[in-house]
Structure 1
Amino acid sequence: MAGPYPEVQGGGSLILAWQVRNRRVLVVGGGDVAAGRILNLLNADALLTIIAPLPLHPEIQYRLTTHASRVAHIPRKFEPSDLDDPSIAMVLTAVDDPEASTRIYTLCKEKRIPVNVADVPPECDFYFGSTHRDGPLQIMVSTNGNGPKLASLVRKQIARSLPPNIGDAIAKVGQLRKKLRRIAPTQQEGPKRMQWMSKVCETWSFQELCDMTDEDMEALLGFYGPNAVPSLQQLRYGEQPDTFGYDGSFGWSCVI
Structure 2
Amino acid sequence: MPGLLISHKSEGETHLIVGASALSLSRVSKSIECDAAKVVLVAPPDGHVAWSSEVQRKVDEYSGRIVWIQREFQDEDLTTLGREEVDGIVDVVFVATPSIAEIGTRISNLCRKLRIPVNVADAPRLSTFTLLSTHTDGPLQIGITTSGKGCRLASRIRREIASSLPNDIAMACEKIGDLKQSIQDGDDIQLQHNMETYYHEVGQHDDDAVQSSKFNRLVLEEEANEELAKNRDALKKQRMRWLSQVVEYYPFSELANLSIDDLSSQYRFNFPNLAAESQLQFSPAVPKPGRISLVGAGPGSAGLLTTAALTLITTADLVLADKLVPAGVLDLIPRHVETYIAKKFPGNAEAAQQELLAMGLSALRQGKAVVRLKQGDPYIFGRGAEEYIFFRKYGYTPSVIPGITSALSGPLFAAISPTHREVTDQVLICTGTGRKGAAPAIPEFVESRTTVFLMALHRLSDVVGWLHDAGWRMDFPCAIIERASCPDQRVIRTTLDHVVEAFEILGSRPPGILVTGKSCEVIEQVPEGKSWVVHEGFQL
Which band: TM-score by shorter chain?
Answer: 0.7 to 0.9
Determine whether 1:205 maps to 2:251. Answer: yes
d(CA) in 1 for partners of 2:67, 2:167: 36
Q: Who is 1:16 aligned against? A: 6
- Structure 1 residue 172: deviation in Å? 1.4
Q: Classify the secondary structure of the residue corresponding to 2:94.
A: strand
**Residue matched to 2:76:** 81
Identify the residue that residue 155 of structure 1 maps to in structure 2.
Answer: 158
Correspondence 1:49-68 to 2 at 5 A: 49-55=40-46, 56=51, 59-68=54-63
The code of the aligned residue for 1:44 comes to: C
TM-score normalised by L of structure 2: 0.39
> Does the Cα contact within 8 Å between 1:196 and 1:224 map onto a contact in 2?
no
**Residues 188, 214 of structure 1: alpha-carbon distance in 2 compared, 3 angstrom cutoff:** closer
Q: Structure 1 residues 187 and 18 mapped into 2: Cα distance closer, same or farther (>3 Å)?
A: farther
- Alignment partner for residue 44 of structure 1, among 34, 58, 78? 34
What is the CA-CA distance between 1:218 and the residue it aligns to?
Answer: 4.0
- The alignment of Structure 1 onto Structure 2 pairs a total of residues equal to 231
Correspondences of 1:99-248 after superposition (within 5 Å): 99-185=102-188, 186-223=232-269, 225-226=271-272, 242-244=349-351
Secondary structure in 2 matching 1:244: helix
Give the Å deviation of 1:124: 0.4
Which one-letter code corresponds to 1:118 in the other structure? A
1:151–1:81 Cα change, 3 Å: same
The one-letter amino acid of 2:173's match is: I
Change (3 A) 1:180 1:30: farther
Q: Deviations over 1:160-196 (max 9, x none)?
A: 1111110111011111112222233534433322211
**RMSD value, Cα:** 2.9
Q: Separation in 2 of the partners of 1:234 and 1:129?
A: 37
Q: Secondary structure at the match of 1:80?
A: coil
3-state SS in 2 of match to 1:146: coil
CA deviation digits over 1:192-218, x for unaligned, max 9?
A: 222111111134332222223453354
Name the structure 2 match of 1:7: none
CA gap of 1:57–1:32, structure 2 versus 1, over 3 A, is farther
Unpaired segments ≥5 residues, structure 1: 1-10, 246-253
Which letter maps to 1:131? T
Please state how far the C-alpha of 1:62 moved relative to its aligned partner. Answer: 3.8
Q: Does the 8 Å contact 2:273/2:348 carry over to 1?
A: no
Shift of 1:41: 2.0
| CA drift at 1:89 | 1.6
**Residue 126 of structure 1: how far off its partner (Å):** 0.5
Post-superposition offset of 1:29: 2.2
Give the letter for the 2:42 counterpart: I
- 1:17 match: secondary structure: coil
After TM superposition, the score normalised by the length of structure 1 is 0.78
The CA deviation string for residues 221-256 of structure 1, in whole angstroms up to 9 with x for no partner, is: 42463488x999799xxxx955238xxxxxxxx9xx
Opposite residue 73 of structure 1, the aligned amino acid is W
Structure 1 residues 122-181: Cα deviation after superposition (integer angstroms, max 9, x where no partner):
100000121111111111111110111111111111111111110111011111112222
Tell me what 1:92 maps to: 94
Structure 2 gaps of 5+ residues are 189-231, 275-321, 324-338, 353-435, 437-540
Using a 3 Å threshold, how does the CA distance of structure 1 residues 112 and 208 change in structure 2: closer, same or farther? same
In 1, the alpha carbon distance for the partners of 2:133 and 2:273 equals 39
Asked if 2 retains the 8 angstrom alpha-carbon contact of 1:234 and 1:241, the reply is no
User: Is the alpha carbon distance of 1:234 and 1:154 closer, same or farther for their aligned partners in structure 2, counting shifts above 3 Å?
Assistant: closer
